[in-house]
Copies of this chain bind each other. A is one copy, B any other.
Amino acid sequence: MGIQERKEREKEHRREEILNAAQKVFFEKGLQASTMDEIAEAAELSKGTLYLYFKSKEDLYLAVMTRGMELLQDLFDKAISEADSPLDQIRKVGQAYRTFFNEHRNFFRMFNFFQHPQFHKQVSEDMMAICQSRNQEIWDKVIGIIKRGIDQGFLRNDLDPAECAIMLWSNSYGLMVRMDTQLEYFRENFGVDLEKLIDKSNELLLQSMMTEGVREKMALSNTLNNEQRS
Contact = CB atoms under 8 A, between A and B. Distances in A.
A122 to B, nearest CB: 7
A143 to B, nearest CB: 7
Contact of A115 (B120, B175, B177): B177
A201 B167 contact: yes
B178 A162 contact: no
Contacts of A20: none
A203 B122 CA distance: 38
Given A116-B30, A192-B160, A175 B181 contact: no
A174 B163 contact: no
A26 to B, nearest CB: 10
Contacts of A224: none
A184 interface: no
Copies of this chain assembled into the complex: 2
Interface residues of A, number: 48
A118 B172 contact: no
A223 interface: no
A90 to B, nearest CB: 16
A191 interface: yes
Given A173-B174, A190-B143, A204 B197 contact: no
Given A162-B190, A204-B205, A208-B208, 12 more contacts: A109-B117, A115-B180, A120-B181, A163-B197, A163-B200, A166-B178, A166-B192, A166-B194, A170-B171, A173-B177, A174-B177, A205-B208
